[in-house]
Amino acid sequence: MKVAGINWGTTLAAAIAIYAVGFIIYGVVLDPKFWMELSGISEADMQRVGMARMVYSPVMPIMTAIGMAIVFKWGSVSGFMNGLKWGALIAFASAIPTILYGWVYGVGSFAIVWIDSAHLLTGHMAAGAILARWK
């Protein structure tokens, strides 16, 4: 279904892809205790705050996919490879610098920056490929 020139089914698929990449990295590949250690988060912090915020976890992928869909429409981005490239560009221009801000002003290890950056880069590229291929 297209509204305002954006295919919302494709945008939803892109958001799901971003979420799936995060699930694979943080839920399957990494041990949660290792991630918490790198992030400077204790088990008590996770139980008190982290789990309460999990309900909001779909918001970021949805916002990212909508923003990318708009940029791709404005830029007439089409094709699988162009989607991958534009997804990487958006990740390097916006998402990854945001992760770096969190590290500079936070308490976690720099190793978490690599993991979070890989997550965002991979997620943006997957979303970009979907958005540009299935207009």
Backbone φ and ψ for 3, nearest 5 degrees, come out as -135, 130
pLDDT score recorded for residue 18:
98
pLDDT digits (tens, 9 = 90+) for 22-56: 999 998 999 988 988 888 888 888 888 767 888 89
Give the contacts of 90 (CB within 8 A, at least 6 positions apart).
68, 71, 124, 128
H or E element, residue 118: helix 110-133
Neighbours of 33 (CB within 10 A): 10
CA-derived radius of gyration, the chain: 16
pLDDT digits (tens, 9 = 90+) for 65-87: 999 999 999 999 999 999 999 99
